[in-house]
Structure formats: structure tokens, C-alpha cells
Amino acid sequence: MTGPVARERILPRMIDEEIKESFINYSMSVIVSRALPDVRDGLKPVHRRVLYAMNEAGLTAGRPYRKSATVVGDVLGRYHPHGDSSVYDAVVRMVQEFSLRYPLVDGQGNFGSIDGDNAAAYRYTEVRLTRIAMEMLADIDRGTVDFGANFDDTREEPKVLPSRLPNLLVNGSTGIAVGMATNIPPHNLREVSAAIVAMVDNPDIETDEIRKIITGPDFPTAGFIYGRAGIKDYIETGRGRLQVRARAQIEENERGSKSQIVVTEIPYQVNKERLRQQIVDLVREGKVAGISALRDESNKEGIRLVMELKRDAIPRVVLNQLYKHSQLQTTFGVIMLALVPDIKTRQLVPKVMPVREVLKHYIDHRHEVITRRTQFDLDKAAEREHILEGLKIAVDNIDEVIKIIRAADDTPTASLSLQTRFGLSERQAEAILNMRLAKLTGLEIDKLDAELAEVRALIAELRDILGSRERRMTILKSELMDVAETFGDVRKTEIVSDEGEFSVEDLIAEEDVVVTISHTGYVKRTSVSLYRRQRRGGRGKTGTGLKDEDFVSRLYIGSTHDYLLIFTDDGRMYWLKVYEIPQSSAGARGKPMVNLINVSPETRVRAVVPVRDLEKITDADERFLFFSTRNGTVKKSRMADYTNVRNNGIKAIKIEAGDELIDVQETSGTNDIVLATRFGLSCRFRESDVREMGRDTTGVKGIELRYEDFVVGMVVIKRDATLLVVTEKGLGKVSDVAEYRVQKRGGKGILTLNRTDRTGNVVALMEVLPEDEMILITKQGILIRSSAAEVRKTGRNAQGVKLVALDEGDSVISVARVVPEDKPVEGLGDGDGDDVVDGESGAEPEAENGDAGDAGAPEA
């Protein structure tokens, strides 16, 4: 078009002003209509339109699935004038269990995976709403929310959903707008619901109280959050940084020759396949050393990413390298940004809010929904009452009504006549004219009276609700708790209390395990349930795959979180955590001790003392370590003297030439001590007879020994129990502690067993109760579990009964006590397993090369 008309339509304007105004309009459109969720229902427009369109199409929970293409088409054609990919991507995300904590769409078909696989095309997949999504849409047809025109003014769509579910907090949201972004983590439904109820009961509730209820995010992929500082920050201010770690554990492979790191949970929003490739790249680049193979063994049961380690690798070092360099540890930056209705304009504006304000907006929204729903129901009830009152008037004056109707020329005239005669409204007159003659029967008249009374009672109830905020709030809480009880579940993500306290231990489940140490220095931990109880005299099953000349020399049963004070025959002490010992099958050989603590291959472990919170023990604590040696020397020292352990261990007791450490046990300083010798003698004396001594000391004489005799066991008497004596030929007996009279320390002792060729020499002495159980270990690596109650109680100098049937050339070399499953004892494991796993003999046991450094977990 040319000429004066065309020139008049051209408006000169500065380009910077035009760009500024247009960009502001564009950015507000993206912020309000695309990228940010509404604080009330936690949904972006596309998600809200998908849910509403599916509900309108009847794709509700329990109904048949329908093609995703139908849903995408309905949403595009009626509500969302954008690309089909944006709609289908929204549908897919609402289906994925690894994306939403509580999925809103139930899908059938391929909707992608945590490996980043794309969903199948929408012509193949099918969808319907989940049951929890129906709670988002409940009461939407009862005037609870505002509706507005769609993009072409052909229909209306809801501006927000009623949302009984506090969706913004329980499912979170992520979006990038123009100049701002939101990143809200998902939370546990039960915790959020409890916080809302607490805030309804106490509108002035402090943020600290909310933090006690909402302990932190709860990601659908589980994992760990460590450090409460970031949680505190975003709950109080709306912004914070969270450190999220994968769940990983160190295991020993099936052959028992190498360790492996197994990852079973990964951080939220991490692509598992990209993580796997990232670890491969890190190994190739040399940033992470010690990994020989990487396998993805994940299936429908869950994630399982297995990293086999080299023989010389220290598992915890490799794991911390992975945390440092890979997405096994990520940072989740929380930005609680959402659209909030302005009080004056009712327009939506973006705002970063603390959790308390988010909860308040949700409560206000639900209160408005309940108020509007009640008013809607009241209007309906009042309208029905009005009609029923008109029908009642007609029934009471039926003859005159019929006369008026018959005298009228047409329906409008009859309606006007009825209104004039009985003072009826137009709607009442219309209802009378539409009334069927069947309504005039006696039964129908009674029903009419009953319905009128019922409607009037309902009206009174609804008016009472509208007049009482307390009642409305009670309804709010009741409906919310119904949702929480129906759909709530236990927390998936574990939270470690403080960043500074976080260590590998936080990744290790606390459970009872059996720790065995062989004569040649192999150590392993195994689940206590792998050993089943057998009757006295049974043959047992192979518990350790050892070479003929090797055998189990120590066995300890305790928690994975225990500290182990390891004492060697040369009088030194080393520190180790139980979880740092690789987990193995019952038949595996274990790991050379030299790879875990800094000891020489010829060193033998003589005692293992389990301790909790070792670093907290002080001189004020009445906790002692009592030592005994092969040559009859004893020593008592405060445990506080042994809390500072160095890489190469510390001297625990000075051992003289020709002597070696036999046992170390924790005491209170006031116990009685019993020493037993190889030739069947024993000496019981007061612990108070032994003075307290420092670390680097020899000790004093505990028992006077005969020629070629030596100490085989020590018992610290802490309860009214019995003493079990076991011989090398598998015989044992139980005697009352009272039969062992108290003697002077350093005496020659008294008989503890009638030693003969049938019994052989004594190999063990221990304190037991009738309900206790024990595991006997033979030289050939056979373990048998038996009950102390099955051993006949006899006198102190009896020979005993057979406990285990031994093969030719085999002999008992060690005994350990096991606590029955129904009566756990501190420091000991519990449980009675179903099977004993047969082991396989391994190759010549040799210490593997590698660092034998600090037993503590290195920092990532």
C-alpha cells in the first residue's frame, strides 16, 4: 500500500525504547505463561492444561488408557497454542517415577529411562491420570477456582486447580524463565502435610519448628543429603545449596580376590548412562585410579552400577575420588521461586519465598477453595429448597392448581396465574408445571417433605461452615490428612546431620556382621545370618575358603559402625572401622590384613575390642583395657590412653622376649579376672589387685605357670554366668563361676578341667549364659554353631561332653560366643541364619601390594 494512508500508519520510535518494551512483554509472557509454577497448585500452564484436558476427556484413574497423541492433540487444539513437543515432554515427565516424587500421569509404554533414553513417540504410548492427580482436580466443577477464556475465546480453562495435594513442595519444579529461574526440590508428602496442619493449628509457628517437621528434600531417586546448613537456608530464605551423594557400598567380588564399589542410588536429575561414561573418562584420563572394570547391572528392580577395583586399590580412596570428580556427588541449588497472586491486582507476580510463606499461600488457597465450594453447595441447596417449597405449595393446593392450569389458554398464562395466586417465583411455577402426576401419590408427597427437611438441614450446616473459619480450617486439615494417609510413604532420601561430620560411614547401613581373621592374616566381614544353628555333635559347614595350612584364628561379631581396636601378638594396637573391611561371602578368603592396617605379614592378631565413639573417651571415664600374655603377665590401662592411634599403630603393652600377647578386653576396673592355661589350670583374682599402668609398660604376674604351660584364655567376669571350657579334641563343659574361688594374683591356680588324652589340651575359656550360642572354629576352617544350653553343666574338674565331631587330623582352635536373635547383647551380633555357604580353597595366601596407610576415611 502506498500514499498518504500508508504513511500515516508508520509511527517513528526510538529502537532502544521499542526493544526494551517488547522484551519486557516477552519476558513477562514467558514468566507467567510458560516457565514458572503457580504457588497454589505447583503447576506450570502446560501441566495444568494437560491434567485438565485429560480430566475433561474422561482419562481418569481406573478408566482405560488412551493414546498420548489424543491428549497432545486436545491440549494443542483447545488450550496450549505452542509446539507438540512441549506438551508431550510435559506428559512424559509427569509419568516418570525418577522425575516426580508422586507421578501425576499413569503411562503405558516406553516413557524413557534414567539413562536418558527418549520416550516412544506419542502415537505409541498411552496415558491416564493417576489417583493422586485426581486430588488435584477434585471439586473443580463446584465453583472452587476461576476460569478464563482460552487462546481463541472458544472455551474456558481453569487459571489454577483446586489441588488438595500440596504439589509445589511434594513434587517440586524446575524452570528457566527470562532473567530468573526456579529450582524447587521435592519433599515427602507426610512431612509437608504435617507441617501444614501444624501451621493451621498455630499460624505463628516458627521456622525452626517447621524445620523439625520438614526435615529436608525427599528425592525420587533417594540418595543422601549431607549438611543441614543448606536445608536451613532455603527453608528460612528460599535459597540454599544442598550436597547430594549417591548410595555406594564396598563389597568383595564372588571370587573374593578383589573389592568392588556398588552404586545403588544416584543423585536427583543425574543421567545414569552419562555418569557411567563420565567414570570411564575419568579412569582413562587418570583422574580416578584403581578401577579395572565397570558394569551396569541395573534392571527393573533398581540401579546397580558395579566398579571392580584393582588388587592394590584402597576402596574408600577410590570412592572419595569418584565423589570429588564425578556426578556421584552433585550440588542442588534451591531457588523457591513461584508465581504469587498480588493481593491488590490479583495478577501473578514472581517471588522467591521461604517454605513458611509457601505453606501460607497453599493454606490460603485451600481455604478459598473450601469457602467457594461451600458457597456453591449452599447456592445449589437454596435453589433446591426454593423449588421444593413451590412444589409443597402446589401439593397442598392441588385442586386449585389443576383448576388454574386447566382454565389457562397456554403455558405462559398458567405460569403467570400460579405466580399471582400463590406468590410463586417464575422458577417455582415452571417446576409445578413440569411436575408429573406421579408426584401426587401419598408416598411421593412424604418423600417431598423428607427431601425438604434434608435440604434445610444441609443449608443450616453449610451456613454454619461459612460462618466459622475454625470449621473451614478443620475441613482443610481433614482433607489434607486423608490425602497424606492414602498416598503418603516413607522418606527415600537420607539426611546426614552435618557436613563436617559426613564420612563414608554415613553411606554404610548399620547391621550385624561376622568378622573373621585367619592365621596367615586374611580378614573379611560376612553377614551373621549366613551361619545356622546346629545341634551339639553336628559337623557344620565350611565357613572360610582357606588353604590347608591356614585357619581362622579370630572371630568377632558386631556392628558395621563399631570401632575395632586391633591388638597384635607383638603388643601393638591398630584402629579400624568394621565397614572398612570388605564384605565377602562365607566361602571367600577375605583380604590380607596388610592392605587394611600397617602390619607385617608375619604379625598375628590376638584381640579385637569393639568400641563406639572412641574419640569421645576421656580420663574421667572408668573404662579400662585389661591385657594378658602367653607367659601369664597381666596389665590394666585406661582406654583414654589408646584413643590417639597413628598410621603405623601404637605400642599397647611392652612384650618381653619369648612372650606374646594373648588377649585384651574392656573392663570397668572392678571386675574379677580368670586366666586359664593349656594344662587345665585357672586362677581367679580381683582386677583391683592389678594397679593401673601406662601404655608403654610390661605389667605384672597374673598366674604362675608350670614348665611348658602357657595361658590360652582370659575371662573378665561381668555377670552371674557360667564358664565354658573347650578342648582341642572337641570336648567342652560348663561350670558355675562360683566354683572358681578367688585367689591371690600370681598364684599357681586350680584345676579347671580334668585333662586326659581323650580331652587333649585346653584351647578356650569363655563366660556364657544358658541362652548364649557359640561358634567353634577348627583348624581346617570348619565352623559349627551350637547352644550353650546343650552343654551339660558339670563340676570344675570334669572332662565335659563332645561338642563337635572332628575329622582325622582336625582340632578345635578357637571359640566365639553368639547371642540368640531374641536377646541381643551390646557389642555382639544377633540372628540365626538359614544356610551356611560352602567355600572354596584359594591359592597361596599372599599380602597384596598397596598402601597400608591411615585406616581412617580420606577426605574427598
Residue bearing cell 478464563: 148
Distance, in Å, from the CA atom of 274 to the CA atom of 396, rounded to the nearest integer, reads: 80
For 58-79, letters b (16+ CB in 10 Å) and e give: ebeeeeeebbbbbbbebbbebb
Handedness of CA 12, 17, 21, 23 (dihedral sign): positive
DSSP class of residue 548?
A: T
Give the Cβ contact number of residue 500 at 10 Å: 9
**Rounded Cα gap, residues 819 and 768, in angstroms:** 10
Rounded CA-CA distance 537/532 in Å is 14
Task: Tell me which residue of 384, 467, 393 sits closest to 424, measured CA to CA.
Answer: 393
Dihedral in degrees, nearest 10, Cα atoms 835, 840, 846, 850: -60
- The gap from C-alpha 106 to its chain's centroid, in whole angstroms, comes to 25
- Joined together, the cell numbers standing for residue 553 give 584364628
Nearest to 751 by CA among 718, 795, 796, 783: 796
Task: Look up 124 and say whether it is catalytic.
Answer: yes
Tell how strand 494-496 and strand 224-226 pair up. parallel
Distances (CA, A) of 89 to 83, 99, 163, 770, 858: 10, 12, 22, 66, 43
Dist CA 525 CA 147 (whole Å): 64
Residue 600 region by backbone torsions, left for phi larger than 0, else alpha for psi between -120 and 50, else beta: beta
Classify burial at 822, counting beta carbons within 10 Å of its beta carbon; exposed 0-12, middle 13-18, buried 19 or more. exposed
Amino acid at 25: N
- Measured from the Cβ of residue 9, the count of other Cβ atoms closer than 10 Å reads 7
656 Cβ contact partners less than 8 Å away, ≥ 6 residues apart:
631, 633, 698
Do the Cβ atoms of 432 and 424 come closer than 8 Å? yes
Q: Buried (b) or exposed (e) across 544-576, using 16+ Cβ within 10 A?
A: bbbbeebbbbbbbbbbbbbbbbbbbbbbbbbbb
C-alpha to C-alpha distance for 223 and 493, rounded to whole angstroms? 5
CA distances from 688 to 142, 293, 301 (A): 82, 57, 58
Contact 438, 444 (CB under 8 A): yes
From the list 88, 122, 124, 642, the catalytic residue is 124
Crossing angle of helices 355-396 and 426-433, rounded to 10°:
60
| Sign of the CA dihedral with 403 first, then 407, 411, and 412 last | negative
Question: Where on the phi/psi map is residue 449: left (φ > 0), alpha (ψ -120 to 50), or beta?
Answer: alpha
Asked if 352 and 239 count as a contact pair (C-beta separation under 8 A), the reply is yes
113, exposed or middle or buried, with CB in 10 Å at 0-12, 13-18, 19+?
middle
Cell of 122: 506419542
Distance (Å, whole) CA 292 – CA 283: 9
Q: Which residues are catalytic?
A: 124
